[in-house]
Structure 1
Amino acid sequence: MEELRMIGEKIEKFKYILVEHIELFEEEEPLYDFETSKEVRSKLIQIHADALIHGKAQAMESMKITGMEIGKRIVDMGIPLDKNIEEAQLVRNLFWSFIEEEVSNRYYSIEILLKASSIIDAILDQFIHCVSISYVNHYKEMAKMANDSLQKIKENQEVMEELSTPIVQTILKDVLLLPLIGRIDDWRMESMQSTVLRKCADLHAEVLIMDFSGITFTKESNMLSLLDQLVGALALMGTETMFVGFTPDVVKEIVKLDFANQVKSFLSFRQALEYLFKQRGLALQPV
């Protein structure tokens, strides 16, 4: 209809002025920065103008594409969906204000303006619908990516824990060796506990030999109290703990703890192995 086309052309002509008028309806700060807000609002107004000039079908498709794009954008920007729906309502209020002005000036008949408003409402409803679908779908994708990333981090952390707790079987299959190397802090000791307990259970270990000759000990850490907990947990599982390779600094601290006299200690791994061989009536052949 010619009248609808004329209304659309008028909206197109004054779209940037209409964008500025939207600010009159705002009660809060705009969702985007000034330039982005101006770009989005002018695009929405232009699509409504196109619907009146060229027909609703083409404009509905354009609004679908725009809605899908904006749905993804607001997820990436961390903007809640309801805030974007409020933005769409501002545009709706703008058009209703425009229609009321046209009615008061009697430029067009009531029937034509009602027809124009029904087209505008349909286009805007399409926008809200597409934004909502895009928002939900993209949010799910982002959540899945985040979960996948967290899972990957967890897997990498487990690998690092395995590497930092290199438990190996000795020549005696039920005797395991844990050579500790580097700085042992509270975090590493705590993560090591679960790995040690799991490995000892999986391999049915009767004895765990812990070699401390390669570690750096800091008095500020809770390593020794955590070590006490680990020894107690292993004992409950039926696994005996032996210590080898303590440095003088560590010995000075460990003798203060209750479990010091409950755990067999040796100068080296070889001495511990010789003790176990002798205890079992076996002979350790010299290499």
Structure 2
Amino acid sequence: MKSNSHEIYADYFNQRQEDFRNKLICDASQVRDKIDEIHRVGNIDLLENAHKLVMYALGENDSLASFAEKEGVVWAQHDLTLSFKLEWVQSIRRTMWRFLEEFHEENKDKKVNLFKLERQVNDAIDQFLNGFFLSYSRYKDALLASQRELVENLSAPIIPLSDSVCVLPLIGEVDEDRVETIEGKTLPEIKKLQIETLIIDFSGIAQIDTTSMNRIMKTINGTYMMGCECIITGLRPQIVRTLIKEDLQFDPKVITKGTLEQTVNDFFFAK
């Protein structure tokens, strides 16, 4: 049930909603020029949401947490600036208190516990901000985790050619971080996909240092421990020279072929 004081305050703000919006826009100097842009980008009605927050702050409402969570997600989805949001909410708080002050000047005969009202309003707005920032942060963290997983998959994409044959094309620069991703993905994927033959193509590698190459060679040797045959294709002359210079050798079981195309043809088209 809404308290009688809540209804009185709600009616006051509803009757002066247009005046409140105008005063709020004047107060939020850094945000007012962005109101239309934010509405266009994220379909977010800042003025309507400001009125909702005022109504929540004037009386207990279980929907405040849900409102804050939704606001945080939408703000994060459209990558809107947090400083704008913080200034906007603080402007709502300041403007709201100016209107409450005017209300009590106009209604001096009404006895109101201002300390209780102050706690209620400020606590509600603080709860909104906390919920908003937590929701925003959770969404961003989940997005970063998803992007990190995508980058890792693109860094070591194991592509099935058949039920038992897969190819791992290595592209770009291979450094220690990239090798760690390759190590962390290759052996589990061999087990998961039940790969019998893994073709690792080096033709797209732009650069690789000796340490990283040595770790890749150990990973290749590990594929045999998993019962998976490994075929190396596309070794470029500079990589071969590095192997010779550093006296690095593949396990004798490792098969090397000139190109990925040749290897695929041998597997699927050779008579």
Map of 1:176 onto structure 2: 166
Are residues 1:199 and 2:189 paired? yes
Q: Aligned with 2:232: secondary structure?
A: strand
Call closer, same or farther: CA 1:180–1:54 in 2, change over 3 Å: same
Call closer, same or farther: CA 1:196–1:50 in 2, change over 3 Å: same
Are residues 1:225 and 2:249 paired? no
Call closer, same or farther: CA 1:186–1:46 in 2, change over 3 Å: same
Give the distance between the partners of 1:270 and 1:48, measured in 2 at CA: 77
2:180 to 180, 190, 195: 190
Q: What value does the CA root-mean-square deviation take over the aligned residues?
A: 4.0
Call closer, same or farther: CA 1:145–1:41 in 2, change over 3 Å: closer
Query: How far did 1:184 drift?
Result: 2.0
Give the distance between the partners of 2:207 and 2:200, measured in 1 at CA: 15
Query: How far did 1:47 drift?
Result: 4.4
Call closer, same or farther: CA 1:275–1:253 in 2, change over 3 Å: farther
Call closer, same or farther: CA 1:272–1:49 in 2, change over 3 Å: closer
- Report Cα offsets for 1:34-66 as digits up to 9, x if no partner: xxx9xx889858845753651476xxxxxxxxx
Please tell me whether the aligned partners of residues 180 and 214 of structure 1 are also in contact (alpha carbons under 8 angstroms).
Answer: yes
Map of 1:214 onto structure 2: 204
Higher radius of gyration, 1 or 2 = 1
Pairing 1:42-61 to 2, within 5 Å after superposition:
47=100, 50-51=103-104, 54-55=107-108
Please tell me whether the aligned partners of residues 168 and 198 of structure 2 are also in contact (alpha carbons under 8 angstroms).
Answer: yes
Please tell me whether the aligned partners of residues 233 and 260 of structure 2 are also in contact (alpha carbons under 8 angstroms).
Answer: no
Map of 1:134 onto structure 2: 125
Q: Which moved more, 1:157-166 or 1:139-148?
A: 157-166
Task: Give the TM-score normalised by the residue count of structure 2.
Answer: 0.52
Call closer, same or farther: CA 1:205–1:42 in 2, change over 3 Å: closer
Please tell me whether the aligned partners of residues 223 and 229 of structure 2 are also in contact (alpha carbons under 8 angstroms).
Answer: yes
Q: Structure 1: which amino acid aligns with 2:213?
A: L
Give the distance between the partners of 1:194 and 1:56, measured in 2 at CA: 73
Task: Give the TM-score normalised by the residue count of structure 1.
Answer: 0.50
Give the distance between the partners of 1:285 and 1:47, measured in 2 at CA: 82
In structure 2, stretches of 5+ residues that fail to align are 1-89
Query: How far did 1:216 drift?
Result: 1.0
Query: How far did 1:159 drift?
Result: 2.3
2:144 to 153, 164, 185: 153
Call closer, same or farther: CA 1:56–1:193 in 2, change over 3 Å: farther
Give the distance between the partners of 1:41 and 1:269, measured in 2 at CA: 69
Query: How far did 1:217 drift?
Result: 1.7
- Report Cα offsets for 1:179-233 as digits up to 9, x if no partner: 22222233332223333334322210122110101211243x7421331442354
Call closer, same or farther: CA 1:286–1:202 in 2, change over 3 Å: same
Call closer, same or farther: CA 1:197–1:121 in 2, change over 3 Å: farther
Give the distance between the partners of 1:162 and 1:42, measured in 2 at CA: 50
Please tell me whether the aligned partners of residues 48 and 123 of structure 1 are also in contact (alpha carbons under 8 angstroms).
Answer: no
Q: Structure 2: which amino acid aligns with 1:242?
A: I
Aligned residues with identical type, % of pairs: 18
Call closer, same or farther: CA 1:123–1:226 in 2, change over 3 Å: farther
Pairing 1:39-118 to 2, within 5 Å after superposition:
47=100, 50-51=103-104, 54-55=107-108
Map of 1:69 onto structure 2: none
Give the distance between the partners of 1:217 and 1:167, measured in 2 at CA: 20
Call closer, same or farther: CA 1:174–1:41 in 2, change over 3 Å: closer
Call closer, same or farther: CA 1:129–1:236 in 2, change over 3 Å: farther
